[in-house]
Amino acid sequence: MANRRVGFCLSDEKKKRMNLSTFAEFCRLRGTEVVEIDLSQPMESQGPFDVIVHKLSDVIVEAEHDSQSRTLLSNFQEYVSAHSHTVLLDPLPAMTQLLDRFASYRIMNKLQKSLRDWGICSPPYLEINTGDPSAIREAVERKRLSYPLICKTRVAHGSGSHEMSLIFSAKGLGDAGPPCVLQSFVNHGAVLHKVFVVGEAHFTVERPSLRNFALGPCDRETIFFNSHEVSKPESCSHLTALDENTPRLPPPSQEVMVAMVKELRRELGMALFGVDVIVNIQTRALTIIDINIFPGYEGVPQFFSSLLSHIESVLEHRETASLLPSPMVP
Ligand SMILES: Nc1ncnc2c1ncn2[C@@H]1O[C@H](COP(=O)(O)OP(=O)(O)OP(=O)(O)O)[C@@H](O)[C@H]1O
Ligand SMILES: [Mg+2]
């Protein structure tokens, strides 16, 4: 069997979290060599690669203000453009847009139109670029956003990006620090469904989530929280505790999940991503609240085998495509 070489370009933290060395051994036993790419060294001497899997989120965000990161990123891009035979998982522009909540919420809004027949939606939201509470108030009223509102930073990557707040009335709008998005809060019985996609396959795990709140404006102080205290497997917070009388909703139907994942894959052009969905307790609509790049796949024991299968299938496609006659040039 031909030995395939797959380069992984990940931060040390991500390598540890995904257990890259165990995955490398898993691949080695199946005829695929995993190579850890060191971005600070010339890519040429580390190649050739059949596939490169990467999560360059840190570098992309840092490149905005740091010239060293900009150089690393452009060396990487140059290598990829010069080696069209190497398959990149996933394309850089597709990933970059998900690091910006303004861009990712526009995608969710667009998907909502193509998925309306499946009853899939995403909560109404506003892009906030001003710190002027009266301007924000006007925009909230114009858009008819319902309270409570959840406020999320525009940047979707890095430690600060998980600092959020719940705003209960116009009085709290001064707590929305721009640039950010304000999104209507949807009661969902404190259950988050994390959908993890690997190529054609997807897996769903349940996580704790924010509890229900009374709908409509109320005289309550803004609640500031970190989303990682809420929706990690080990999260346990007073914000996620439901009272015992709250009925549990049935999980979303597989058919609807399949339709959503298929449409997202087509729209994003990505293979490794996650979608966070909740079920609206009033309307039962499957509601998309977040799309994540190359997520942790925690609670998905099939992750290694699915990732290797996806890499193999991508390469099979590449080989079949190279056997086809090239299009005629007039
Ligand atoms: N519109 C909403 N209505 C109700 N709850 C919400 C809404 N948006 C977010 N949440 C809650 O807040 C949590 C964090 O939101 P979100 O997934 O957008 O943040 P994140 O920090 O980007 O997440 P991740 O860790 O997946 O990157 C969700 O897991 C969910 O519990
Ligand atoms: Mg999330």
What pLDDT, on the 0 to 100 scale, is given for residue 17?
96
Sheet strands (E) in 163-248: 163-167, 180-184, 191-198, 201-208, 223-226
DSSP code of residue 148:
S
- Domain assignment of residue 14, yes or no: yes
- Domain assignment of residue 243, yes or no: yes
- Domain assignment of residue 328, yes or no: no
pTM: 0.94
Q: Is 152 annotated as a binding residue?
A: yes
Q: Mean pLDDT of residues grouped by 10 in the chain (330 residues)?
A: 87 97 98 96 96 96 95 96 96 96 97 93 97 96 97 94 97 96 96 97 96 95 93 79 79 95 97 97 96 97 98 91 66
What pLDDT, on the 0 to 100 scale, is given for residue 277?
98
Question: Does residue 119 sit in the same domain as residue 262?
Answer: yes
| Residue that terminates a domain, selected from 40, 55, 89 | 89
Question: Does residue 123 sit in the same domain as residue 154?
Answer: yes
Question: Does residue 12 sit in the same domain as residue 76?
Answer: yes
Question: Does residue 252 sit in the same domain as residue 138?
Answer: yes
Question: CA 315, CA 62: separation in Å to the nearest integer?
Answer: 32
What pLDDT, on the 0 to 100 scale, is given for residue 2?
57
Kindly state the tokens that stand for 162: 């998980």
Question: Does residue 110 sit in the same domain as residue 75?
Answer: no
- Domain assignment of residue 324, yes or no: no
Q: Is 185 annotated as a binding residue?
A: yes
Question: Does residue 45 sit in the same domain as residue 102?
Answer: no
Strands 163-167 and 149-153: antiparallel
Question: Does residue 85 sit in the same domain as residue 209?
Answer: no
Question: Does residue 197 sit in the same domain as residue 175?
Answer: yes
Question: Does residue 218 sit in the same domain as residue 124?
Answer: yes
- Domain assignment of residue 183, yes or no: yes
Ligand 1 mutation target, pool 98, 184, 227, most atoms within 8 A of CB: 227
Q: Is 276 annotated as a binding residue?
A: yes
- Domain assignment of residue 307, yes or no: no
What pLDDT, on the 0 to 100 scale, is given for residue 203?
98
Q: 182 to each of 20, 129, 174, 187, how far by Cα in Å?
A: 37, 11, 12, 16
What pLDDT, on the 0 to 100 scale, is given for residue 27?
98
Ligand 1 mutation target, pool 167, 196, 276, most atoms within 8 A of CB: 276
CB 52 within 8 A of CB 76: no
Kindly state the tokens that stand for 5: 């070489």
Question: Does residue 284 sit in the same domain as residue 146?
Answer: yes
Q: Ligand 1, residue 228: give the atom nearest the CA.
A: 25
Question: Does residue 85 sit in the same domain as residue 101?
Answer: no
Q: Is the peptide bond before 179 cis (omega within 30 degrees of 0)?
A: yes
First-to-last CA distance in the chain? 39
Q: Is 168 in the pocket of ligand 1 (CB under 6 A)?
A: no
Paired with 34 in beta bridges are 6
Q: In what order do the strands lie in the sheet with 51-54?
A: 32-36, 4-9, 51-54, 87-89
What pLDDT, on the 0 to 100 scale, is given for residue 87?
96
What pLDDT, on the 0 to 100 scale, is given for residue 145?
97
Q: Is the peptide bond before 48 cis (omega within 30 degrees of 0)?
A: yes
CATH number for position 114: 3.30.470.20
Question: Does residue 24 sit in the same domain as residue 169?
Answer: no
Residue 179: partners with Cβ closer than 8 Å, 6 or more residues away: 102, 127, 128, 129, 153, 154
Residue 190: partners with Cβ closer than 8 Å, 6 or more residues away: 208, 209, 210, 211, 212, 240, 241, 242, 246
CATH number for position 34: 3.40.50.11370
Q: How many domains does the chain have?
A: 2
- Domain assignment of residue 318, yes or no: no
Domain extent at residue 30 = 4-89
| Residue that terminates a domain, selected from 66, 89, 112 | 89
- Domain assignment of residue 32, yes or no: yes
| Residue that terminates a domain, selected from 28, 56, 89 | 89
Q: Is 290 in the pocket of ligand 1 (CB under 6 A)?
A: yes
What pLDDT, on the 0 to 100 scale, is given for residue 326?
63
- The SS3 assignment for 232 reads coil
